Each structure stands twice: as structure tokens, then as C-alpha cells.
Amino acid sequence: MTRLLHLDASPRPGRSGTHEHGSHTRRLTHHFVSQWQAARPGDAIVHRDLGLTPPALTSVAWIEAAFASAEKQQPWMRDVLAESDALVDELIQADVLVLGVPLYNFSYPAAFKAWIDNIVRLDRTVGFDPANHEDPFTPLLADRPRHAVILSSRGGFGLGPGGPLAHMNHLEPSVRTALEFIGIRHFHDIAIEYQEEGGDRLARSINDALVDVERLVERLLAQTASAQAPLPA
């Protein structure tokens, strides 16, 4: 069984094409998950709505609890880290991350940054050895292949790789940096553009993105099925 972790970071509660002023990224994640469920209804899917219920921001108490050594752990620290622990547990169990993340002011919304800050955790998702001066960090989620599917939307256009405004887009590169740091190695990016312009170019971009999602689901289903196939006797 493959486990999907479906995250939506848009503050818009509805989906474009279905709800007035709905979210394009929610439309893409919903399409991805629906396509997956249709092919493999028995797979586990966990959905967390970061846009409507953002994780707590990093606090002084959180930092003290997260970086306390084993002998300095106190009971109150478990309460402070309870949400972060739940987010980390969901991530560790997942095989495919379905990330709906709109581009806001050159990067992702604050709710998604709060999620990143909660899941990059010492001794949970990354190890640290101060004696290793060459590379003191060990990614702890490199134990098996995990895929991160970044489904984004952009008000402008030309912000993808090779585009004239690609240098202004720090969303996908930043997500990759954080997740690679903890051991996730396989990334897939699909985005809708022309949201501010609207009209035919937005409609084509939406259609192209939906088709790309369907093709990506087909590829990942084949890859995960192959990885789970029993070895010959």
C-alpha cells in the first residue's frame, strides 16, 4: 500500500472551476488525489489543510523543547512539540507528498513555511554530528524513495525553469532545498500561470496542468507498483 500526504496551503477554501474565487492549487491537488484513488482505492491518504488551519509558528518554547538534550527533557516540552510531532509522523509515513502551494510574493505562503519549520526537526528528520566538519547533517528520511509533487499556481507567467522571470520564483527551489535536506529526493513540479491575466491563456494553462497531473499520476502509479512488486523466488 502506498501512503499519500495531501497538503493544501491556499487560504482559499474552494477549488477553481467548481467554486467562485476558488483555489487553482486545490483544484490540482484534488485532481491528483482523485485520479490516484480511482486507480488505487485501497491506498491511504492523509489530508491536512494548512491554508485553513496553519501550523503554529516557531516560538521560544518550541526552540527550547526541540533542541533540548535527552537529559534536559521536561514534561511540558511534549505538549509544545505535539503538533510538530504529528506533522513529522505524517511525513515519515508518507510515500508521496501532494503539495498544493500557490506562489505568493516570490515564494510560498506563511502557512506552508510554518509546516516546513515544524517538520525539519533535529533527530526526527535530520541528524547532526558536530564532529563531522565536512558534512555534519544526516537526512533521516533517505531510508526509502519518497516523491514530492509540487502543484503551484502563479499570477504571472514565465516563472518556470528557463522562463524570463524564473529568477524571481523561489517557491519550488526552496521546497526542494528543505525536503532534500531531510532526505526526500524525487520531485515533480506542475504549475498554472496567467491567473492575473485570465482569459484564454489562463484556460489553456489550467487544461495543460490538469493533463500533466493525469500523466504524472500514471507514471507514479507505475513506479510505486514496480517498487512494491515481490521479488522473484
Binding annotation for FMN: 10, 153-156
Q: Which residue reads 489530508 in cell numbers? A: 47
As annotated, the binding site includes 10, 153-156
d(CA 221, CA 179): 21
> Do residues 173 and 121 make contact, with C-beta atoms less than 8 angstroms apart?
no
Strands 96-100 and 3-8: parallel
> Do residues 216 and 32 make contact, with C-beta atoms less than 8 angstroms apart?
yes
Quote the Cα angle for 154-219-155, to 5°.
Answer: 5
> Do residues 108 and 175 make contact, with C-beta atoms less than 8 angstroms apart?
yes
d(CA 111, CA 100): 12
